[in-house]
Amino acid sequence: MTLITRRVVIATALLGAVAPAALAHHGWGSYDSDTVLTLNGTIKTSTYENPHGTLEFDADGKTWHVILGPPYRMQNRGLQADMMKPGTTATVVGYPSRNDPVEMRAERITIAGKTTELR
Partner 1 sequence: MESGLGPEWAVWLQEGALGRTMRASFLLYPLTNVLHILGFTALAGGILAVDLRLIGLGRRLALDQVARVMLPVALAGLAVAVPTGALLFVTEAVGMWNNPVFGWKVAIIALAGANALALHAGPWRRVAEWGAPGVKPPPRARAAGAASLLFWGGAVILGRLIAYF
CA distance 102 to 119: 20
Would you tell me which residues interact with partner 1 (CB under 8 A)? Answer: 2-4, 7-8, 10-11, 14-15, 17-18, 21-30, 47, 49-52, 54, 70-72, 75
Instruction: Say which residues have a Cβ less than 8 Å from residue 34's Cβ, sequence separation at least 6.
Output: none
Of the pair 19, 112, the CB lying nearest partner 1 is at: 19
How many C-beta atoms surround the C-beta of residue 30 within 10 A? 18
> In whole angstroms, how far apart are CA 77 and each of 1, 45, 71, 73?
56, 21, 10, 6
Q: How far is the CB of 40 from partner 1 (least distance, A)?
A: 25
Of the pair 60, 100, the CB lying nearest partner 1 is at: 100
Q: How far is the CB of 111 from partner 1 (least distance, A)?
A: 20
Of the pair 24, 36, the CB lying nearest partner 1 is at: 24
Q: How far is the CB of 55 from partner 1 (least distance, A)?
A: 13
| CB 66 within 8 Å of CB 26 | no
